[in-house]
Amino acid sequence: MARTKGYPEALDKKLADTRLYEDERHPDFTKTVEKVSMTIPHMCFQCGTCTASCPSAPRSSYRIRKFVRRALLGLEDEALTDPDLWLCTTCYSCTDRCPRDIAPTDVIMAMRNLAFKRDIVPVNFLKTVQAIYTTGHGVPNNDVNRAARQKLGLNAEPPTTHGFPQYVKGIQYILDYYELKKNADRIVKEREG
Amino acid sequence: MREYAFFLGCIAPNRYPGAESASYKTSEKLGIKLLDLEGASCCPAPGAFGSIDLDIWYAMAARNLILAEQMKKDIALICNGCYKSIWEVNHKLKHHPELKERVNEVLKGIDMEFKGSIDVWHLAELFYDPEIVGLQKIRDSITVPLEGTRIAVHYGCHLMKPKKERHFGTTEHPTWIEEMVAALGAEPVEYRNKMLCCGAGGGVRGYDLVHSIDITNEKMINLKEAKVDALTEVCPFCQLQFDRGQIEIEEKFGVKYGLPVLHYCELLGLAQGMSPQELALDLHAVSCEPFLEKVL
């Protein structure tokens, strides 16, 4: 980088964090995100309509515009290790308002998929997987609810995998096919012992 | 009588059974019969599963779709989250042959094949559609008009957004559910930033509860400002977030709102003469009494 002679050292230090280093960039990351998300982050001109529409932005440091920028600069590590990645409520307001026809929400979803491949995932996501593997439901039935259902004249168990548990096998087959249960158990065990 | 396979999801049958029960009874009065979709599972949760691996999300949702394909019935459902999974995966698999092939390759192992022979509907859109039910029929079915009540509507996100993929028109200021509320004799009320998310989606409720209910709190502030008697929605997950969320807001932020939150089917049930007991309104975290006193 060209430098002015006698460039003040303090400023140099201050700007160090904002510089983009070539070795942090992974062009493949941009391509993978585009493929998984089926959208076009490279069209982004950084207007910020997405962040302005975001319900998570006013109450956190989560900036969706930044993630789209990271997608197209190929800043894989920076994007995937940022805990803010998991603050998107997937409300799709940004997607509806994007003047470049990008779906920033889907960019986030693709990045989360790629993060999971590196075991970066909050435990609550995996617990939903475990619940579905056992019962077929992410929010399973309980005794209070069973009693209430019967009072309403419904069966204590709804006619889903709860009432027909033989169907759970098919669900377990799909999750085992992708080794999702195995990975979920392993990661939860690593985190919680 | 039109027949649909009723996809229940998780939260309606397992937390708000009154909404499930009301769906059967109210739609029957409007000429829609909801049939059991035996062996259906979680849709699966678009936030949790979509975030982990979209391919697994496609395959799991396809399994639910195939169950309805085998019944040769369109699916009707009452939850926006389920709509996102079931409608969107159906749509994607129909329009992306290579995706469909990938999913069918997995499902071969359990002798299932996605064909793409059915459609998916939210019960609310069937109620609104004049060719199926329509506002007039809703009005004619009412025996206890909800006169003198002010009701706000929360649309939720995944029913209508992203608008380019859906068929509901504007997502900035829709009014069709307000029309359905007015059909019950109540006064629909507008409030600030109506289309704001409830805060529960995308796995955020489980990941960071305080962040999640802070979004809910913003909605509650706007609703309080509009002086409404109740909030209605068409998504049990939003319902959970507003209903139990108010208790959590009280615990974490020390603010109490006491705003009753009812699924549109529960509201319709009340207006069609169902009792609060038949709707299991006592299971709601926030008491519906103040609203019921005005109505009954």
| A13 pLDDT higher than 60 | yes
d(CA B286, CA A121): 33
Give mean pLDDT, residues B2-27. 97
Going by pLDDT thresholds of 50, 70 and 90, the confidence category of residue A24 is: confident
Residue A115 is predicted with a pLDDT of 98
The alpha-carbon gap from A10 to the nearest alpha carbon of chain B, in Å, equals: 36
Residues of A in contact with B11 (CB under 8 A): 139
| A5 pLDDT higher than 70 | no
- Give residue B244's Cα distance to chain centre: 16
The alpha-carbon gap from B131 to the nearest alpha carbon of chain A, in Å, equals: 28
Each residue's pLDDT tens digit, B194-212: 999 999 999 999 999 999 9
Whether residues A164 and B38 touch (CB distance < 8 A) is answered with: yes
Each residue's pLDDT tens digit, B126-163: 999 999 999 999 999 999 999 999 999 999 999 999 99
For chain B, say whether A40 makes contact (Cβ under 8 Å): no
| B180 pLDDT higher than 60 | yes
For chain B, say whether A53 makes contact (Cβ under 8 Å): no
Residue B90 is predicted with a pLDDT of 98
Residue A97 is predicted with a pLDDT of 97
Residues of A in contact with B49 (CB under 8 A): 128-129
Domains of chain B (ranges; CATH) run 2-123 (1.20.1050.140), 141-295 (3.40.50.11810)
Residue A10 is predicted with a pLDDT of 76
Whether residues A173 and B109 touch (CB distance < 8 A) is answered with: yes
Beta bridge partners of B262: B232
Give the nearest partner residue to A89 out of B50, B63, B199, using CB atoms: B199
- Are B151 and B181 within 8 A, CB to CB? yes
Residues of A in contact with B164 (CB under 8 A): 95-96, 101
Count helices and strands in chain A by DSSP H and E runs: 11, 0
Residue A53 is predicted with a pLDDT of 97
Chosen from B11, B21, B35, B42 to mutate, greatest number of chain A CBs within 10 A = B42
Give the nearest partner residue to B39 out of A124, A167, A174, using CB atoms: A167
Each residue's pLDDT tens digit, B247-260: 999 999 999 999 99
Q: Which helix (H) or strand (E) holds B122?
A: strand B120-122
| A4 pLDDT higher than 60 | no
Give the nearest partner residue to B110 out of A153, A158, A173, using CB atoms: A173
Whether residues A154 and B280 touch (CB distance < 8 A) is answered with: no
For chain B, say whether A60 makes contact (Cβ under 8 Å): yes
d(CA B201, CA B206): 9
Give the nearest partner residue to B201 out of A90, A137, A170, using CB atoms: A90
Whether residues A93 and B161 touch (CB distance < 8 A) is answered with: yes
Residue B25 is predicted with a pLDDT of 96
Give the nearest partner residue to B211 out of A60, A116, A154, using CB atoms: A60
CA dihedral defined by B16, B22, B23, B24, rounded to 10 degrees?
Answer: 120
Going by pLDDT thresholds of 50, 70 and 90, the confidence category of residue A20 is: confident
Each residue's pLDDT tens digit, B83-116: 999 999 999 999 999 999 999 999 999 999 999 9
| A193 pLDDT higher than 90 | no
How many Cβ pairs within 8 Å bridge chains A and B? 214
Whether residues B51 and A113 touch (CB distance < 8 A) is answered with: yes
For chain B, say whether A174 makes contact (Cβ under 8 Å): yes
Give mean pLDDT, residues B278-283. 95
Q: Could you report the predicted ipTM of this complex, rounded to two decimals?
A: 0.94
Closest chain B residue by Cα to residue A36: B54
Whether residues A95 and B162 touch (CB distance < 8 A) is answered with: yes
DSSP structural state of residue B45: -
Whether residues A124 and B203 touch (CB distance < 8 A) is answered with: yes
H-state helical runs in B163-273: 176-182, 204-207, 209-225, 236-253, 264-271
Going by pLDDT thresholds of 50, 70 and 90, the confidence category of residue A3 is: low
Contacts with B, A 5-34, CB within 8 Å: none
- Are B77 and B122 within 8 A, CB to CB? yes
**pTM for this prediction:** 0.94
Residue A6 is predicted with a pLDDT of 61
Residue B151 is predicted with a pLDDT of 98
- Of the two residues A139 and A193, the one the predictor is more confident about is A139
| A17 pLDDT higher than 90 | no
d(CA A53, CA B172): 11
The alpha-carbon gap from A24 to the nearest alpha carbon of chain B, in Å, equals: 24
d(CA A107, CA A40): 9
Whether residues A128 and B45 touch (CB distance < 8 A) is answered with: yes
d(CA A81, CA B84): 27
- Give residue B294's Cα distance to chain centre: 25
Residue A47 is predicted with a pLDDT of 97
DSSP three-state, residue B230: strand
